[in-house]
Amino acid sequence: MRHFAAPGRVNLIGEHTDYSGGLVLPLAIDRGIRLRVEPSDRITLTSEQFDGGVDVAADGSGDAPEGWGRYVAALAQELGDLGRPPAGMAGSLTSDLPAGAGLSSSAALEMAVGTALAALADFPLEPLALAAAGQRAERRAVGVPVGIMDQAASVLGVAGHAILLDCASLAHRAVPLPPDLAVAVLHSGVSRELEGSGYGRRRAELEQGLAALGGRSPREVDPDEAVAAARAAGVGDVAVRRVRHVVTENRRVEATVAALEAGDRPALRRLLEEGHASLRDDYEVSVPELDLLVGLALEHGAVAARMTGGGFGGAIVALVDAEGAEQVVTATAAAYAARTGTDPLTLLTTAVDGAGEREEP
Ligand code: GLA
């Protein structure tokens, strides 16, 4: 038996920027998907956590499976298109990543399966080529036009670091997380699936607005200029606000990296607050539960907090003083439960290395 693992991710900042060649700052978290497999003619997988199993040809062809099997089949097909020989595998999958929390369980599944399929076929694959195959598999499997952030975070993760990724050039570097800060994730309990969410619509609205920039990247213009250009092109208020979010968010990513490197807590607080407000007001992907959780986290002592991931539900990320982190999380969760009747799932997480083959656990 061989073991493969791929982590989920939480994004510190840089939301809805990946699919327009922007900047993102995610970290791979200490929760993810593990596979225990041996070579086989087909791809057959079972799981205790996920409903149903997977049984497809080694190249992913055949009747499209349902549920999580769709991602497995689509990834095998994408790797086949890249020239992977059709070597199969049989085994089981376990997950300690809550689904629907916005922690990229589908990207972790794709990266675990892809790492295993490449290794079992002795097929060399660069981490970012695997990430891009996962991004395409997502579209093939469920028709959602995601960016590359989630898959890239799962393969590029570095212990103790966030990953600054330029989604245009795919250049990346690891940014050390200050050791005196802990990363907390609190799930609102509003389950989110990209499929069926407004994700594709947001992307289309943004692209309408970006067309008004006359071929310039949203990273080349300042916010006032972008808004003026979009208004002048008559694209409508919604598209103007989508563009404003992306232009300002890219700048916040750069400023957040600087603030992390300087250990500047007030700046981190302001940047994450501004990022949250922009996602709420300009990109309109927050929900009242996420707004409430962010407010409560700050009130109960978090250094900084904002919604994380695609939105429409899911989780918030909070930076908390490492000393006393548990208390901040517990107090925030209790206050949220008192207000909403929902006990939020909470994680105090650390940044880990990206997907790969592991020793026997
Ligand atoms: C989802 C997508 C990512 C990214 C985020 C928003 O997680 O999979 O590609 O667009 O939403 O930042």
**Tens-place pLDDT, residues 146-166:** 999 999 999 999 999 999 999
Nearest CA to ligand 1 atom 1: 310
Of these residues, 41, 59, 96, 150, which one is catalytic?
150
Q: Does domain 177-349 have CATH number 3.30.70.890?
A: yes
Q: Are 38 and 183 in contact (CB under 8 A)?
A: no
pLDDT at 196: 67
Distance CA 227, CA 29 (A): 36
Domain residue ranges of the chain, discontinuous segments joined by +:
2-175+352-358, 177-349
Radius of gyration of the chain measured on its C-alpha atoms: 20
Distance CA 189, CA 179 (A): 29
Angle at 35 between CA 31 and CA 37, to 5 degrees: 170
Distance CA 350, CA 72 (A): 27
Q: Can 353 be counted among the known catalytic residues?
A: no
Distance CA 239, CA 234 (A): 10
Q: What tens digit of pLDDT does each residue of 247-258 get?
A: 999 999 999 999
Distance CA 91, CA 343 (A): 34
CB atoms within 10 A of CB 342: 14
Residues 6+ apart with CB under 8 A from 346: 184, 185, 186, 187, 329, 330, 332, 333
- Atom from ligand 1 closest to the CA of residue 102: 7
pLDDT at 101: 84
Q: Are 294 and 185 in contact (CB under 8 A)?
A: no
**What residue type is 312 in one-letter code?**
F
Å from CA of 229 to ligand 1 middle = 26
pLDDT at 114: 98
Å from CA of 255 to ligand 1 middle = 20
Q: If DSSP codes are grouped into helix, strand and coil, which group holds residue 5?
A: strand
CA-to-CA separations, 295 to 283, 287, 303, 335, in angstroms, rounded: 19, 13, 12, 11
Which residue numbers in the chain have pLDDT < 70? 193-196
Q: Find residue 95's DSSP bridge partners.
A: 33
Distance CA 90, CA 42 (A): 7
Angle at 243 between CA 297 and CA 285, to 5 degrees: 35
Q: Is there a shared CATH topology between the 2-175+352-358 domain and the 177-349 domain?
A: no
On whether the pTM is more than 0.95, the answer is yes
Å from CA of 22 to ligand 1 middle = 12
Q: What tens digit of pLDDT does each residue of 78-115 get?
A: 999 999 999 999 999 999 998 778 899 999 999 999 99
Angle at 276 between CA 274 and CA 277, to 5 degrees: 65
Angle at 330 between CA 102 and CA 49, to 5 degrees: 40
pLDDT at 193: 67
State the DSSP string of 179-219. TTEEEEEEE-S----STTSSHHHHHHHHHHHHGGGTT--TT
pLDDT at 102: 86
For 2-175+352-358, CATH number out of 3.40.50.300, 3.40.367.20, 3.40.50.970, 3.30.230.10 equals: 3.30.230.10
